A and B are shown apart, each in its own frame.
Chain A
Amino acid sequence: MQVYDSAIAQTPVISALKGVWEKRSLLKLLVARDLTVRYKRSVIGIWWSLLNPLFTTAVMFYVFNTVFKAKLPDGQSFLPYLLSGVLTMTLFNQGLTMAADSIASGAGVLTKVYVRPEIFAFSATISSAINFLFGLIPLTVVLMIFGKHPGFKTPLLAVFMVCMCLFSTGLGLMLAIAYVNFDDSRSLIGILLLALQYMTPVFYPISALGPHTQKVIQFNPLTSFVAVFRDVFGGNAHATGGEWITMIITSLFFFVLGFYVFGRKWPKVVAKL
């Protein structure tokens, strides 16, 4: 028989992870719900969700092609380079904001039924990862147009995706607390995300920047994510060992930090919902 005793102290992070694991069947249903709502009910569902990254790519291609084309290293084409960058950023942005939103706007459920809110954040990042997989179709087409193919490193894509899920779940949990605490934090976060996007080499190669700026850009963990994705899928860039390590360490760090902060703040925040 299950016993709830409020006096039993929760181990930070570990209790939450255990709780999520015990409810993995719910996690599956939540992911299925997201995907069903997005794809099954409308024929253009998949293409609709790809419209945003594809359109962004088209605009950026038009704007930046003439400026930056020559600056890419030899043997690199701008379009696949750009598209893979945009897909990575879409995966990150979508996972992050959906994770935060699912909790901040989940008051209806979360204040009536006992469910670990972290499950909602996970389901959001997992469904945006599945979304991302669909984005690989147009990217493959673009690669082939430029006489390339995804390459033999493709299995390593799994490492990239797991890292991105952990990273955006952790950040999304902290963001959810901000969303609930401050009504106007959404617009501010939007600006910060835009700044982060420009600080990531999506439409420019890092080599085009001065040495000082390069250091700043390298400090951004998303720079490593973009480099790794370009490397494992299509060979549009070379990811150094340092970038692999940065990606793995930062995602684990923010994952644990997010669970820790959320676990401490949520009991205080939930009463306000």
Chain B
Amino acid sequence: MSTDNVVEVTDVTLAYRRTRHRVSSLKQTAIDTINRRMAYEEFFALNGLSFTVARGETLSVIGRNGAGKSTLLKVLARVLPPTSGRVIVRGSVAPMIELGAGFNPELTGAENIMLYGTLLGCDSKTMQGRIEAIADWAQLTEHLDIPIRAYSSGMVARLAFATATDTTPDLLLIDEVLSVGDEDFQTRSKIRTEQMMNSGCAVVLVTHDLSAVKSMATRAIYLDHGAMKASGDPQDVIDAYHADLK
């Protein structure tokens, strides 16, 4: 392959019809149909985005709440298919988005590592061999055989983080840099995240922490109502964002 781009996004739009009523129900739909007043509006979560992320680059996405930052991550994670435009992602993806989705409180730590790791895309044979190392890193080896409903929330977070960061992906998607657990673990998880980011993979980082953008990002884009308002050098993009906030 000639290109070094892990991510290629070309003119991507994500639009969906959403109802004006907060909840959609058969009852409401029936009433609206009879009244010939379909209460739909087209909502553009992402509007004509184009960018690339190369191996070793860290692209930071900034913008107000509801600007489409998390939606963009979900499109890159393959969860949401774009309405139009094209997304190409070459290689494996590690989505660090709300870690621990898929954990079951009734299953033991070891069983949850297996299930979560496989959900994230590892094959189950590889995962079987990784359980010990993951538990060791999360400092949960002694608690591996009890259901995680008996864990503290910090322990669950540690287990999720350790499992999600066990592989070296080609593309790392981060929704806010996580710091979980006690102070010691926060430091370790931060170091591990930075190691992953520096391992040569492509990174897309969504964050409100602008100092993190300055220190980590090689490039940034600024989203507003789903559209790209600025892109390029992180400092310039932050300036553009600040100018809009005033």
Write the residues of chain A forming the contact surface with B, with a CB cutoff of 8 angstroms: 1-7, 25-26, 28-30, 33, 36-37, 41, 108-115, 181-185, 188, 267-268, 270-272
Contact = CB atoms under 8 A, between A and B. Distances in A.
Contacts of A183: 23-25
Nearest to B98: A112
Contacts of A33: 104, 107, 111, 115
Given A36-B106, A113-B77, 20 more contacts: A3-B89, A4-B78, A4-B87, A5-B87, A7-B88, A25-B123, A29-B118, A29-B124, A36-B107, A109-B101, A110-B79, A111-B79, A112-B79, A113-B102, A113-B120, A267-B80, A270-B81, A271-B14, A271-B16, A272-B16
Contact of B87 (A6, A30, A111): A6
A6 B82 contact: yes
A181 B102 contact: no
5 contacts: A30-B115, A109-B119, A112-B74, A113-B119, A184-B26
Contacts of B85: 6
Nearest to B92: A2
Given A26-B124, A182-B25, A271-B14, A6 B101 contact: no
B86 interface: yes
Given A28-B124, A112-B77, A112-B79, A41 B101 contact: no
B203 interface: no
Nearest to A22: B123
Interface in B112-140: 114-115, 118-121, 123-125
A107 to B, nearest CB: 9
Contacts of A271: 14, 16, 45, 80
A181 B88 contact: no
Contacts, number: 110
B235 interface: no
Interface residues on B, range: 35 or more
B29 interface: yes
A124 to B, nearest CB: 14
B21 to A, nearest CB: 10
Given A3-B88, A33-B107, A113-B119, A182 B26 contact: yes
Nearest to B100: A108
B190 interface: no
Contacts of B27: 184
B181 interface: no
Contacts of A30: 115
B95 A113 contact: yes
A63 to B, nearest CB: 32
Contacts of B88: 3-7
Contact of A267 (B81, B90, B125): B81
Contact of B106 (A26, A29, A37): A37
